[in-house]
Amino acid sequence: MQKQRNWNVKKIITTIILFFCSIAFLLPFVWMLSTSLKIEADVFKYPIEWIPTRWNAASNYQEVWFGDHPFYLYYWNSIKVAICTTAISVVVSSLAAYGFSKVRFPAGAWLFIIVLATYMVPPQASLVPQFILYRYLGLFDTHIGLILLGSFSVLGTFMLRQFFIGIHNDFIDAAKIDGAGHWRIFWQIALPVVRPAVATYAILRFIWTWNDYQNPLIFLRTDALYTIQLAMQKFTTINGSFYTLIMAAAVSAILPLLIVFILGQKHVIDGIALGGVKG
């Protein structure tokens, strides 16, 4: 009895200490949010005013969303690109994952090795020819081009394949005897079973696409096509010293992700953990 209680006290103290550590990870976000609500003159006040004394939130956010560089437009672009990339990538990856795990064809093993090998290529190493190719194909400076860049994920294929392998072959064989082909087995049996994995992958792909800065920077030129990350950077360059506006833009850029993350928190964390442990 006595021992049990001591242990709990220790646990409470550790929790409190760790809570202070975790603040180091949250404080920049809190600072960002609080700055976005202030007037410019109060940004660097010290000691820091965590809760603004002079509020200017409405005007800051209005400038970001409907000013010279209206974020609603970039938001729409980002949402479009992220959703299309995620959708195509999920379909392509799960088709390939099923093909590589449940259709027993001799070439499959070799093709899978080729696909895996491309994962070793750092994306930047193929950037220059990609760029030339995109100009040649007319995909440069288009959303379709950007979407295609993110749509063929080796990681997604590998991850979903691990889950398809987990489906017992007896299931598939039984369905075959009943006259179902691979197409029907894929849609009606295999895919529903791995739905949680598909959800995890979809959330991760959405987050990665939303956060992507490098591809839009290189493959987009027209201002009206900018995604939120590119617009954010541009906005920062233009409004160099207006920190309240920049922080309002940063909050806007991060917010949708936070919502996706908090809604799918378990999926995201489990997915990362699984990918990591299985290697």
Partner 1 sequence: MASKSSTTAGELQESPRTMKKSKKSKIEKSENLVGFLFVSPMLLGISVIVLFPIVATFILAFADWKFVTGIDQLQWVGFDNFIALTSDEKFTKSVINNAIFIFTVPITMFCALFLAVIIDKNVYLKSYFKVAFFMPYISSVVAIAVVWQVLFHPSQGPINQVLMTFGIENPPTWISDPNFALISLMIIHTWISIGFSLIVYIAGLQSIPKELYEAADIDGANSWYKFRNITFPLISPTSFFLLITGIIASFKVFDLIAVLTEGGPLNSTTMLVWHLYERAFLDLDVGYASAIAVVLFLFVFSITIIQWIGQKKWVNY
Residues 58-117 that bind partner 1 (CB under 8 A): 91-93, 95-96, 98-100, 103-108, 111, 114-115
Given 214, 238, 259, 263, the residue binding partner 1 (CB under 8 A): 214
Contacts with 74 (C-beta within 8 Å, 6 or more apart), sequence order: 226, 227, 228, 230, 231
Q: Residue 160, class by beta-carbon neighbours within 10 Å (0-12 exposed, 13-18 middle, 19+ buried)?
A: buried
Q: In the complex with partner 1, which residue's Cβ is closer, 66 or 272?
A: 272
Q: In the complex with partner 1, which residue's Cβ is closer, 58 or 114?
A: 114
Residue 196 near partner 1 by CB under 8 A: no
* Residue numbers 114-133 binding partner 1 by CB under 8 A: 114-115, 118, 120-133
CB of 233 to partner 1, least distance (A): 6
Residue 154 near partner 1 by CB under 8 A: yes
Residue 245 near partner 1 by CB under 8 A: no
d(CA 259, CA 255): 6
* Residue numbers 170-189 binding partner 1 by CB under 8 A: 176-177, 179-184, 186
* Residue numbers 3-32 binding partner 1 by CB under 8 A: 10-12, 14-15, 18-19, 21-22, 25-26, 28-29, 31-32
Contacts with 108 (C-beta within 8 Å, 6 or more apart), sequence order: 99, 100
Given 158, 201, 254, 267, the residue binding partner 1 (CB under 8 A): 254
CB of 66 to partner 1, least distance (A): 20
CB of 71 to partner 1, least distance (A): 12
DSSP assignment of 157-224 equals HHHHHHHHHTS-HHHHHHHHHTT--HHHHIIIIIHHHTHHHHHHHHHHHHHHHHH--HHHHHH---GG
How many other CB atoms are there within 10 angstroms of residue 218's CB atom? 17
Whether 65 and 72 have beta carbons less than 8 Å apart is answered as yes
Q: In the complex with partner 1, which residue's Cβ is closer, 192 or 221?
A: 221
Q: In the complex with partner 1, which residue's Cβ is closer, 225 or 247?
A: 247
C-alpha distances out from residue 231 to 58, 75, 81, 135, Å: 20, 9, 14, 22
Tell me the sheet residues that pair with 237.
none
Residue 191 near partner 1 by CB under 8 A: no
Structure tokens at 264: 């799918």
Q: In the complex with partner 1, which residue's Cβ is closer, 62 or 214?
A: 214
Given 213, 223, 259, 263, the residue binding partner 1 (CB under 8 A): 213
